[in-house]
Amino acid sequence: MSKTLYVSKEFTFDSAHRLHNYEGACSQLHGHTWRLQVTLCGRANPVTGLLIDFKDLKALVELHVIDVLDHKDITEYFDRLNGMNTTVENLSEWIFNTLERVVLAQQCELYSIKIWETPSSCAEYRKGG
């Protein structure tokens, strides 16, 4: 029987955003310290015992997500990119889609993205359900 291993790494970044088509305080520009959890799955390398080296995962996430979003007005960035409303739900899907392409080269799969907008509010995105 094949067993699947799951590993996760967490990151934080700071950025500002505002919500379009929303009535309330969040329609105004405001900032968050976002907490991001990236979970990969697969089978550990039989030689090293690793699914992925955490330093490699850190480098991928920093290059493709953190460096893009940290200390930025992400509403402005996504308005230029694709007009995406910067809800935590949409961010979780965008981060998943962004990382899914680069993680495959590591011989494992992206399982989920979980992102907290506040310490008690988050969204999770998993492909296929």
Check if 117 is active-site. Answer: yes
Q: Please tell me which residue in 17, 32, 108, 117 is annotated as part of the active site.
A: 117
Check if 30 is active-site. Answer: no
Q: Please tell me which residue in 20, 26, 41, 62 is annotated as part of the active site.
A: 26
Best CA proximity match to 10, nearest among 38, 29, 52 = 38
Check if 26 is active-site. Answer: yes
* Contact between 114 and 43 (Cβ < 8 Å): no
* Contact between 41 and 106 (Cβ < 8 Å): no
The secondary element (H helix, E strand) that includes residue 58 is helix 54-61
What letter represents residue 85's amino acid?
Answer: N
Q: Please tell me which residue in 10, 30, 71, 100 is annotated as part of the active site.
A: 71
Supply the residues annotated as catalytic.
26, 71, 117
